[in-house]
Structure 1
Amino acid sequence: MAYDELSTLITELQSSLQKKQLPAATALLSRAKRALLQLNALIPTPSTAPQLISLAREVLELGAITSLRQEDYASFTRYYQQLQPFYDTERHLQATHSVQQLNLNTSQRSKITGLYLLFLLSIGNNTDFHTVLEGLVVEASLKGHRVEDDPYIKYPVELERSLMEGSYDKVWRETKSERVPSEDFGIFSSVLVGTIRSEIADCSEKAYPSLPISNAKNLLFLDSEGAVVEFAQARGWILRDGRIYFPQAEAAQTEQAEKGASGSIIENAVGYARELETIV
């Protein structure tokens, strides 16, 4: 298959994704990957033509986006890993000024990397999150930049900082705000909010004997008191007289010790309850 035919497939694939036609995008993606296999371009080598490297990278990036929109996170991870040697090769070619045939303006590296960081954050993989981030920090510093200069990277970095501080309200606000870099980043919003909700629920059980259902609605970022009841029942909490009663701690001494660790987070969150009431 000639380069122009592969370029046509990429254009059709981009169009299908813009129209949210995922089945069509999946079929086109399979054809494009078969073409790359025939051209021996699924892995870049020193003999791979720069133009072909660019086309192959575009196919894999579109594959990553397609997988993400299908919520196939295992496939998205594989695409991210496949892309790394292409990004390394293009950076090398750019550094050596051999970029005449590279279509670097089409690269979605920042977006794909930001999405991967957000994915790691959503599953609680802090080790890999910081490993990837440290590499980005080094690369940016060599260019005299900061990673926060890139909005696609800044978004997951700031969310991670808020999570580490226990500022769950900030995370919730960011997932709902116009500062979300693109629609694809919103895919992880429900996952992140679910993680936050579970963290707050765990801390609440340790920090308080009970809470009003009305406060719990805002505290847990739920849309209604009915949703609170459903969530509480799933957690095995006791509902009585408009309040949620948490299971008793195994020992008062243990409860007191744990309250010091978790209480500050919950105290901050409860303080936001009334303010959030106008939003939720």
Structure 2
Amino acid sequence: MAENELKNVLQQLHRSLQSHDYQQSTTLLSRAKLALLHLNALIPSEKTPRPHLQLARETLEIGAITSIRLKDPESFTRYFQQLQPFYALPAEVLPKDGSNASKITGLYLLLLLSDGDYAGFHTLLEMLEMVAAQTGKGLEDDAFIQYPIRLERALMEGAYDRVWGETKSERVPSEEFGLFSEVLIGTIRKEIASCSEKAYPSLPIDDAKSLLFLDSEGAVVEFAREIGWVVKDGRIYFPAQEEDLRSRDILVSSDTVIEHTLGYARQLETIV
């Protein structure tokens, strides 16, 4: 009875996800996980029948996607962790067909990147590469994994314009990945703001708007006040540094990043 009930709930879950009724999805997920508990399938074991493993994986993957849609990273992380024992099962125990492992893992990589957890990002990526090497399947053709890899490389190079382009183009592999755009752009703004303070004593508001990928001068003024910049006579003035603890090379690097990003932003505005 629990298995039939779970199958029915999963059908409703798919419909609620398609209709963006996430409140209903949350209620249905609670029912689905309760059914899995009755089936002793919420945590996989050697005695768990394959059909129950497949139902459990499907339930947890829907939960992970729902959490992303609700912009709830803590819940998504819990679902990701719950899915790991299922993803670790050999194909003869739980076939990979029908799994969204690649998509869920790519989203988790993007979450780590958005949080600035580069150590966690590379640890997971190294593990994925080891598994891929053992199975003879590379990661090069996996769009869900390659997307966060491209973003990480751009961030490491200070090429914030490339990150902006990736989040605003058809290269985003799915709707869920696009939901991270706001978080990523927020990260970029903080990095650019830090570089700006080191590279220039002040900037025109219009240049700051392009540089920070903001939609209006009013948004620039609001952002400036939030982080303690001074707005006066159409310019942004950065707070004086008490002591320059960085070398000239770093200042030059910051200046290069700013010029590169500002140039791209101006080109983007021209195209739009």
Is 1:198 the counterpart of 2:190 in the alignment? yes
Match of 2:222 among 230, 251, 268: 230
Structure 2: gaps spanning 5 or more residues: none
**Normalising by structure 2, what TM-score?**
0.94
CA distance 1:252–1:65, shift in 2 (3 Å): closer
C-alpha contact (below 8 Å) 2:211/2:265 kept by paired residues: yes
Is 1:128 the counterpart of 2:125 in the alignment? no
Aligned 1:1-150 pairs, distance under 5 A:
1-89=1-89, 92=90, 94=91, 97=92, 102=95, 104-150=96-142
How many residues are matched? 272
C-alpha contact (below 8 Å) 1:215/1:273 kept by paired residues: no
Q: Offset at 1:51? A: 1.2
CA distance in 2, matches of 1:193, 1:159: 11
C-alpha contact (below 8 Å) 1:36/1:56 kept by paired residues: yes
CA distance in 2, matches of 1:106, 1:69: 21
| 3-state SS in 2 of match to 1:272 | helix
| 3-state SS in 2 of match to 1:211 | strand
CA distance 1:16–1:252, shift in 2 (3 Å): closer
Instruction: Find the counterpart in structure 1 of residue 213 from structure 2.
Output: 221
CA distance in 2, matches of 1:163, 1:180: 16
Is 1:207 the counterpart of 2:215 in the alignment? no
**Normalising by structure 1, what TM-score?**
0.91
| 3-state SS in 2 of match to 1:28 | helix
Instruction: Find the counterpart in structure 2 of residue 180 from structure 1.
Output: 172
Is 1:160 the counterpart of 2:172 in the alignment? no
**Partner AA of 2:9 in structure 1:** L
CA distance 1:254–1:185, shift in 2 (3 Å): closer
**Partner AA of 1:278 in structure 2:** T
C-alpha contact (below 8 Å) 1:207/1:255 kept by paired residues: no
CA distance 1:132–1:253, shift in 2 (3 Å): closer
**Partner AA of 2:159 in structure 1:** S
**Partner AA of 1:15 in structure 2:** R
CA distance 1:253–1:16, shift in 2 (3 Å): closer
Match of 1:271 among 243, 263, 266: 263
Q: Deviations over 1:147-185 (max 9, x none)?
A: 131111111110111000101001011111111111111
| 3-state SS in 2 of match to 1:278 | helix
Structure 1: gaps spanning 5 or more residues: none
CA distance 1:29–1:254, shift in 2 (3 Å): closer
CA distance 1:157–1:254, shift in 2 (3 Å): closer
Q: Deviations over 1:52-85 (max 9, x none)?
A: 1111110111111112212221111011000000
CA distance in 2, matches of 1:274, 1:18: 38
C-alpha contact (below 8 Å) 2:63/2:79 kept by paired residues: yes
Q: For structure 1, which segment, 182-191 or 252-261, has the greater mean C-alpha deviation from structure 2 after superposition?
A: 252-261
